[in-house]
Amino acid sequence: MSSARARGAEEAPGWLRGTPQPRWLRALPAVILAALTFAQVVTPQTLELGYFVVAATPVAALAYGPLSVGVLGCLTLLTLSLPYGRRIWDVETPDLLAVVVVVVLSVVIAWVRTRREQQLVTVRTVAEAAQLAVLPPLPATVGQVRCAGLYRSAQRGLLVGGDLYDVREGPHGVRALVADVQGHGLEAVATVAALLGAFREAVLDEEDLARVAARLDRRLVVDSLADEHAELFATAVVLEFPAGEAVVRVVSCGHPPPLLLRGGSAHEIDVDPAPPLGLGLAGAVPVAVASVPLEHGDRILAHTDGVTEARDAAGTFYPLVRRLPALAASVPVEDLMALNEAVREDLVRFAGKAENVHDDVALLALGPGEVSDRELAAASRP
């Protein structure tokens, strides 16, 4: 697969299923127990420190299960009798009861915590599966087009937010979509799912690329009619790689134009933007389709405005076009995911830290494949 998604800072891929407790927290109860036992042994008998060992069990309840906390509680009771050779029943009754109550409460807390964690892991696993069903990872190759997508949501904890991308092969070639819908996080997921469904159908049904944009526009208009207070809109760029042609066609609906990497330079593809989707204007306003010839080694990077609208401490916008050639030169030409990651890492450095990137970020890198002479000849036949 050639798609990566995580939320917030640079989490590992399996973060959604939970992470183990820090090592220092797991070691802390044993440290407390050993330190206080040693302190009680070396201090005078008139200075009673042993009862402080009961603090180890509440701390253990934060990192261990109820069985482990219960075992530690028993060790705590034994520790009370160790320093001066006392038996456990020689400990004063009120002190002993207090220790027992703390141990029991710690076991209950550990049981409740572990139960809630198990429920949370289950909910997160289901949420991850649902979100990945809406926006599944991209394959490394679709038709003759290599592709890699990278997505970071502005809302921590989500795999899907207000940005989306997809690459699909149909009877009219390979088509790609990058879009930015209104809103962020969960409130935008329904719109993302609707746009992706409309795009996947249009890839199969529509011969003209402008009609694909019209289908997306109609989808949002129809969804808005279902709720009189809804105002759904999105910006989008749709790309088409016709079979047997060394060309890419581009339609932009109020979206930042994709970038063409050629040689050691990068520039925006010149395309006249149509109105954003959801305004009902796609059928009434002519949609311009830009056609760009492709050369060997060309790469295309489509992105959302979360990249170019990120700012540094001085308030300067991230200059993607200016920095992209150097970033592209630092990674292998064939590794499109490395290009996405290089841009993302440079964006975070520019902003200071990941939390300073306040908008969703989506990057879709595309590498058109070679067109053989046979395919060119077949495409030129009447």
- Given this model, what pLDDT does residue 49 score? 58
pLDDT at 11 over 70: no
Q: pLDDT per residue over 329-363, tens digit each?
A: 999 999 999 999 999 999 999 988 877 787 788 99
Residue type, 378: A
- Closest to 217 (Cα-Cα) out of 200, 199, 240: 199
| Tokens 């009189």 -> residue | 228
The rounded distance, in Å, linking the Cα atoms of 204 and 73 is: 65
Please, which pLDDT band fits residue 91 given cuts at 50, 70 and 90? low
- Given this model, what pLDDT does residue 101 score? 86
Q: pLDDT per residue over 135-179, tens digit each?
A: 778 899 999 999 999 988 766 655 666 788 999 999 999 999 999
Most confident of 69-78, 177-186, 326-335, 347-356: 326-335
Determine the average pLDDT of the residues in 193-207. Answer: 92
| Mean pLDDT, rounded, of the chain | 80
108: its two tokens: 């209950």
pLDDT at 42 over 50: yes
Determine the average pLDDT of the residues in 15-27. Answer: 65
- Given this model, what pLDDT does residue 16 score? 41
Determine the average pLDDT of the residues in 34-63. Answer: 73
Determine the average pLDDT of the residues in 35-45. Answer: 70
363 DSSP β-pair partners: 150, 303
Q: pLDDT per residue over 120-133, tens digit each?
A: 887 777 766 666 76
Determine the average pLDDT of the residues in 59-63. Answer: 87
Q: Are 274 and 213 in contact (CB under 8 A)?
A: yes
pLDDT at 5 over 60: no
- Given this model, what pLDDT does residue 372 score? 45
DSSP string, 333-376: TT-HHHHHHHHHHHHHHHHSSGGG--S-EEEEEEEEPPPPHHHH
Instruction: Output 86 or 44, whichever has higher pLDDT.
Output: 44
The torsion defined by the Cα of 34, 39, 42 and 43, in degrees rounded to 10, comes to -160
Percent of the chain residues past pLDDT 90, beyond the cut: 38
Please report how many Cα atoms fall inside a 13 Å half-sphere around the Cα of residue 176, on the Cβ side: 30
| CA quadruple 184, 11, 9, 140: dihedral sign | negative
Domains of the chain: 3-130 (no CATH), 136-380 (3.60.40.10)
pLDDT at 85 over 70: no
Q: Are 269 and 292 in contact (CB under 8 A)?
A: yes
260: its two tokens: 């063409």
Q: pLDDT per residue over 265-310, tens digit each?
A: 999 999 998 999 988 776 667 788 999 999 998 999 999 998 999 8
Q: Are 236 and 179 in contact (CB under 8 A)?
A: yes
Instruction: Output 55 or 79, whichever has higher pLDDT.
Output: 55
- Given this model, what pLDDT does residue 131 score? 65
Determine the average pLDDT of the residues in 37-62. Answer: 72
- Given this model, what pLDDT does residue 281 score? 74
